[in-house]
Structures are given as C-alpha cells and as structure tokens.
Amino acid sequence: MAAVTVPLDSVQGLESIESRHSVDETLAQLELILKEKGITVFSVVDHSGEAAKVGMEMHPTKLVLFGSPRGGTPLMIAASSVAIDLPLKALIWEDNAGRVWISYNTPEYLQQRHNIPSDLIQNIAGATNLLKVAAQ
C-alpha cells in the first residue's frame, strides 16, 4: 500500500500508511517483521489502554519504539540532536471511520531536521518498507 494523505499529514514530515488489519494485528505483524530483521522493539505504549485505566475512551492507539544501535548510533554520533527522535517510532491507530493507519516520521524529514549526512540516512530509511509490509 502506498502512503496516503490523512488529516495528520499536515504535520511536516509525517506520513501514514493504511493497514488492512486491526491495530493489534498490525502491531503483531510489525513486531514479527522487526524480530525477523534483528531489529529491537524497545517499547510499546498502549495509549488507548492507558486512557481506559483512567476512565477515558479513545480509538485503539499504540506507539511502537524500535531500532538498532548498529544503525542509529552512527546517526547520533554525526548529529547528536537526532537522539530525540531515536529510536524510531510507529504510531498504529484507528481513525473515526474505523480505518487503521501506521504513521511515522519520514527519513527525509529526520535528515533535514537534524542535518544528518546523506550517506547515513540509509541506516534508517529501510524502516519505511518494513512498515508497508506490516500494513499489507
């Protein structure tokens, strides 16, 4: 599936891919794909689950933090400020129409934001393809 325009894309550098699966199924797919590639899932933040704990309801929404020190560390050495955006993040969420999306910061945005040398951006650029596969 190609990246599509959704209301969130008015935020610079944010791209979203529609998933064919539920939030939980998309999360499971992504975790499996990352594990197969040797990429660490550092954390999953269940925003909607936490909201429910305080009596609030929201559409299913989960944030996945993932990456590889082998890929990310050279970027942080070259541009220390990129550490604020690493590990990489994927927001898996359901919209008001019941569609599920994976949203993420584009590698190009992170490169521009932190002035990452172009030869290093390839260290994180492959994540976009993994997110697309998880959405299929």
pLDDT tens sequence for the chain (136 residues): 444 444 555 568 999 999 999 999 999 999 999 999 999 999 999 999 999 999 999 999 999 999 999 999 999 999 999 999 999 999 999 999 999 999 999 999 999 999 999 999 999 999 999 999 999 9
Q: In angstroms, rounded to a whole number, what is the distance separating the alpha carbons of residues 54 and 96?
A: 21
Q: In angstroms, rounded to a whole number, what is the distance separating the alpha carbons of residues 64 and 22?
A: 15
Q: In angstroms, rounded to a whole number, what is the distance separating the alpha carbons of residues 38 and 130?
A: 12
Instruction: Check if the beta carbon of residue 55 is closer than 8 Å to that of residue 72.
Output: no
This prediction has a pTM of 0.89
- Does the 12-135 domain belong in CATH 3.30.310.70? yes
Cis peptide leading into 117, omega within 30 of 0?
no
| Boundaries of every domain in the chain | 12-135
